[in-house]
Amino acid sequence: MPGQRLPAERDLALEYGVAYLTIRRAMRELRERGLVITVPAKGNFIQPNATEGAGEDAEA
């Protein structure tokens, strides 16, 4: 849901069985695409308007 806090990067790495740095790169990509915002000392959050642009790349 937009505005929802995402789990910690280390938790995501454990959950999906990937390296921590892989999750960090994925978060950076999501930030660059405007889908996630990072608030220092708070965490990563789904961008409130992220669903508006979802799927644009899939159609191109």
* Dist. CA 52–CA 19, nearest whole Å: 30
Binning pLDDT at 50, 70 and 90, where does residue 58 land? Answer: very low
Binning pLDDT at 50, 70 and 90, where does residue 60 land? Answer: very low
- The pLDDT tens digits of the residues spanning 1-55 come to 888 999 999 999 999 999 999 999 999 999 999 999 999 999 999 998 866 555 5
Q: Which residue has the higher pLDDT, 39 or 56?
A: 39
How many CA atoms does the CB half-sphere of 50 hold within 13 Å?
A: 16
